[in-house]
Amino acid sequence: MFALTLSHLFYQHLLDPSHLPPLLRTLRAALFPNNAPGTPSLFPPTSDDQLLALRRRTAASLASLVPPRLTALYFGGRPPWDSSQSSNSSNIEGSSEVDPEIVDAFDDVFLDLFADEYCNKHLMYSVLELILVRLLPELAEKSVSELWEERLD
């Protein structure tokens, strides 16, 4: 029932021909202020040191998303409940820092996977294929050559 009401409100208010032009103008002004694309805020690293620092920050960010008990279980290091080695252990729950061993493990396991050119190509082709199959479901049933033959006949 809620889905039907939400769908009705969506079509009634958002897709109403009288509301659509102001909505699109507002969206355009939000995405492109002063009628121009925004300036890029991210720049690729220019040196190997910057690339290494970026990889370390990325690995630390990924490691901080995983609960400390799981990182200790799967990637080694001190368990988070073992605080006998040091009172300021970085692996204790509630701490914002991540153990350097865990960061190294994330760098080796996850980030090295995306350093492979073949793996990246395969991943991008798979994503592109998924998008095309969602947009054109007949591509999943027949190959491209079969579709061409069907169109030419």
* Tens-digit pLDDT profile for residues 44-70: 889 999 999 999 999 999 988 988 888
* Section 3-26 average pLDDT: 82
Do residue 76 and residue 56 come from a single domain?
Answer: yes
Do residue 96 and residue 127 come from a single domain?
Answer: no
* Section 12-40 average pLDDT: 82
CA-based angle 22:3:17, to the nearest 5?
Answer: 20
Number of independent structural domains in the chain: 2
CA atoms within 13 A on the CB side of 136: 9
Q: Is residue 148 part of a domain?
A: yes
> Binning pLDDT at 50, 70 and 90, where does residue 127 land?
very high
Do residue 83 and residue 100 come from a single domain?
Answer: yes
Q: Please classify residue 59 by burial: count the beta carbons closer than 10 Å to its beta carbon, then call 0-12 exposed, 13-18 middle and 19+ buried.
A: buried
8-state DSSP, 81: T
Task: Supply the mean pLDDT for the chain.
Answer: 81
Residues 6+ apart with CB under 8 A from 145: none
* Section 69-83 average pLDDT: 69
Q: Is residue 39 part of a domain?
A: no
Residue 126 domain boundaries? 117-152
